[in-house]
Structure 1
Amino acid sequence: MTETARVPQGAPCWVTLLAPHLEAARHFYGELLGWHYRPGSQGLGPYEVALSEGVPVAGLGEARDSLRAFAAWTAYFAADSVDVVAGRVRERGATVAVGPVRFGAGRVAWAADPAGAVFGIWEGAATPGWRVGGRVNGPAWLELMTRDAFAAALFYGEVFGWDLADPDRYDIRYEHDRVILRIDKETVAGLSGGAVEDAPDPRIRPHWHVHFRVEDVEASAAKAASLGAEVVSPPAESPTGRLAVIRDPQGALFSIESAGA
């Protein structure tokens, strides 16, 4: 990550794709979302930063040999202290898999919540220009797909201190069958329960799901299919706008939704 200014504690601050084959991922998302790339560095293997109209929107990394079978998007959340947040994760029976470790001018840890959803904890400044919701062909918002949204909201609220945060800045409420987090009046994340447990597809496990904003959901879903992706849920209306769920050719799940959402 390139450092400029810090973002609020507990706010989404970056997303990355870890895929078995970086070149295939570059091609797919470049064709689908019009991304261009520049070299990046994460210290864990080949890595590139995806750009939309010159602004960084995501990171793409190539999995090492032990993870070659997996492809997944990971969401990162800002922490005033990665050590404090990692400690809270452990105190609540969840797992800190890696870190905290030094990463450029910041520090990072990778964790899994009690249901197994993986997320990153980032202490440091944010990538310049990056934010959820602000750009077509960039992340629109993040959604935790889990078994119990209320238990998850308690976990993340306690870990990141949402319950102690400035009430004029943070707003957590239940809407449209999910727990919604708003920061500075912008919807940045949702926590949805039940669907994962009932999912007939065994590949779907609790995870942080990235929604990307596009101009035309139907056209983008058709384009994704033509590029070898699976349209898991075809375009349909949702509380956040018209939406489709896609599994990319290497198996990573994400959603596309209308720019007007």
Structure 2
Amino acid sequence: MPTSIPLGGPIWADAVTPDLSGDLDFYMRLFNWAAFDSGEQFGHYTELCLGATVSEARAVAGIAERASGEPGSSWGVAFHAGDCVAAVAQAEKLGASITSHPIRVGDDLVYAALKDPDGGAFGLFEPLSDKVGFTARDEPGAIVWFEYVYDGAPVEAMQFYSELLNWSLKAPEGGEPDRDAPYVGLWTHEGHAITGGHVEFGGARMALGPELKMQPHWTVCFGTDSVDLTAAKAVDLGGSVAVAPVDDPGGRMAVLASPTGAFFTVMSSREL
């Protein structure tokens, strides 16, 4: 296997935007990321990394320009599939719809885009090389968590993913911090090659307030040493604050938006 990321776990995240240069500048300055352009052959898809040089670079996420005429700006997540074609076929049987059929990208990966039975977008990603996927995680400036927001019982929405990707679902137990809405933790069934055991990578919760008007969706959460300072910096750089900094059971967090309106979360906790 070309990656230590567990099967079924999040292996990549990226943003699509109608203003690649503008949003790229925003994210690089906000998180102190370096950017590596894949060139015209791949539509100038850009990898965002911690570390200033190629030898130091550790991949955090990617960003690409949205196809001409398509509206909006957003973040998305892709999950590790051992066989992308077979996984897409299984997803269809479970009620998903295909947005983009499996396509091979150079010698590095096979990728497909789908929508789950509730309409939430996600990707399936089969790595063919050890050069793809996250090489930075769970630290300031990198992704630390994924969350699915759904207008309904989270455990019901997650049954699809549990069957497709072999996840374990875990509802909060007595003694754990209370949450404002029903919640379920998400775990890969396969252990990490380094840490062993099941890996908790995110959660799913019932939508609240303005989220009730939105489609079910995955959110990406980036680590930071200070949520409040990062939120203020985002505004200075032309972004906005959708949910002001607040303490929740996982730590302090805020929901921010890029200048083109892509929502993402920043989070700090004692574990970062």
2:59 counterpart residue number:
56
How large is the Cα RMSD of the aligned pairs?
2.3
Match of 1:116 among 101, 119, 124: 119
1:190 counterpart residue number:
203
* TM-score (ref. length: structure 1): 0.86
**1:44 to partner: Cα distance:** 5.7
AA of the residue aligned to 1:188:
F
Describe the SS at the equivalent of 1:199.
Answer: helix
1:85 counterpart residue number:
87
Match of 1:172 among 146, 169, 173: 169
**1:237 to partner: Cα distance:** 0.3
Q: Do 1:132 and 1:188's aligned partners in 2 also have CA atoms closer than 8 Å? A: no
1:159 counterpart residue number:
164
Describe the SS at the equivalent of 1:65.
Answer: coil
Unmatched 5+ residue regions in structure 1? Answer: 163-170
Describe the SS at the equivalent of 1:31.
Answer: helix
**1:6 to partner: Cα distance:** 5.3
2:21 counterpart residue number:
23
Identity %: 27
1:134 counterpart residue number:
138
1:107 counterpart residue number:
110
Residue 250 of structure 2 corresponds to residue 243 of structure 1:
no
Q: Do 1:85 and 1:159's aligned partners in 2 also have CA atoms closer than 8 Å? A: yes
Q: Do 1:115 and 1:147's aligned partners in 2 also have CA atoms closer than 8 Å? A: no
Describe the SS at the equivalent of 2:243.
Answer: strand
Match of 1:223 among 225, 228, 233: 233
**Which stretch shows the higher mean deviation, 42-51 or 81-90?**
42-51
**Which stretch shows the higher mean deviation, 135-144 or 119-128?**
119-128
**2-structure distance, mates of 1:127, 1:14:** 12
Q: Do 1:6 and 1:126's aligned partners in 2 also have CA atoms closer than 8 Å? A: no
Deviations for 1:36-56, whole angstroms, at most 9, x for unmatched residues? 111126966221100112211
Describe the SS at the equivalent of 2:72.
Answer: coil
Residue 228 of structure 2 corresponds to residue 252 of structure 1:
no
2:155 counterpart residue number:
150
Q: Do 2:250 and 2:269's aligned partners in 1 also have CA atoms closer than 8 Å? A: no
AA of the residue aligned to 1:134:
D
1:165 counterpart residue number:
none
1:167 counterpart residue number:
none
AA of the residue aligned to 2:267:
E
In structure 2, the CA distance between the partners of 1:113 and 1:245, relative to structure 1 (3 Å rule), is same
